[in-house]
A and B are shown apart, each in its own frame.
Chain A
Amino acid sequence: MSGHHNLSLKVLIGTALALGVLTILTVSVAMIHIPSPFNIVVAISIAVVKAYLVVMYFMNMKNDSKFNLLSFGFSILFLLILVGFTMLDTMFRVEVIPGF
């Protein structure tokens, strides 16, 4: 089909290797005790990098229409809105009956 960007073998294998390394990193980092909440920040950051690689290279987003990237971005944004606004409630309730 015209106008396509074919996948490159080198890029695909390189991405897979990078993902493997990052997985090993994820597990290693979990073995070290990092004080909360930074342990979560580190774990999520590595996961985000891995997801980025999958999206950009395996899913070929790098060469794809900007609209698809925008859609993907919106899904993450609205997920954050769901969590964020709900936590405005769940994290700020006053204890009516202590210890319940």
Chain B
Amino acid sequence: MAHSSNSNLAHHFVDSEQQFDASKMGMWIFLVTEILFFGGLFAAYIIYRAWYPELYIMASSQLDTTMGAINTGVLILSSLTMALSIWSAQHNDRKKTTLFLAITIICAIVFMIIKYFEYTHKFHLGIFPGAYYTFTGIDHVKAPQFFSIYYMMTGLHGIHVIIGVGLMCWLVIKNQKKAFDSSYYTPIEIVGLYWHVVDIIWIFLFPLLYLID
């Protein structure tokens, strides 16, 4: 328990535990909005897949299952390392906290690199979003519709991965400045919650987009 004036405790909170619980509650509420935000895209997916099931089966073959599976593994690993960085903070191990955050960042970057290769391969084939679609390899008049949804869902997810990388870099900088220890690591905890939801969204995206056969 802190005996000197606790500078991490905001003046309107009674104690650190109240502040920590409030921060977690706030982040969970924010994650509810993220789920509903992505949820709209999942809804569009479901509705249009129900209308054009054969299109979805055909178009999904254009997605590289191997790359998608590797990316799934990469994100799961990154969730583990994110959780481990919190574990390290709880055990007052500053070095390990930075180490695991750094590995998480690397995993995220690997994810984006694989994504880059996937996208550029598609562009090479003429699979662009919306009006710019020129690919002729799928024999379905509504083919662009699938890829519009694909790009929206994976694109929005990718933006959230990048935002996560930014947040984690900020955490590393603050940790190196000795801002966190076992008595205060709230920002790491709540960025962790955010990162796990980014992972969960991909856990659903992967089978729904890549594994329709």
Contacts and interface: CB of A to CB of B under 8 A. Distances in A.
Contacts of A3: 17
Interface of B: 1, 16-17, 20-21, 24-25, 28-29, 31-32, 35-36, 39-40, 42-43, 46-47, 50-51, 53, 65, 69, 72-73, 76-77, 79-80, 82-84, 86-87, 90-91, 182-184, 192-193, 196, 199-200, 203-204, 206-208, 211, 213
- SS class of chain B's interface: helix, strand, loop or mixed? helix
Contacts of B91: 6
Nearest to B80: A16
Interface residues of A, number: 48
A75 B91 CA distance: 33
A54 B79 contact: yes
Interface of A: 1-4, 6-7, 9, 12-13, 15-16, 19-20, 23, 26-27, 30-31, 33, 36, 39, 43-44, 46-47, 50-51, 54-55, 58-59, 64-65, 67-68, 71-72, 74-76, 78-79, 82-83, 86-87, 90-91
A90 to B, nearest CB: 5
B28 A51 contact: no
Contact of B28 (A16, A54, A72): A72
A26 B207 contact: yes
A79 B39 contact: yes
B28 A79 contact: no
Given A26-B207, A30-B211, A55 B47 contact: no
A53 to B, nearest CB: 10
Nearest to A78: B36
Contacts of B182: 1
Contacts of A44: 204, 207
A23 B35 contact: no
A30 B210 CA distance: 10
B76 A2 contact: no
Contacts of A58: 79-80, 82-83, 192, 196, 199
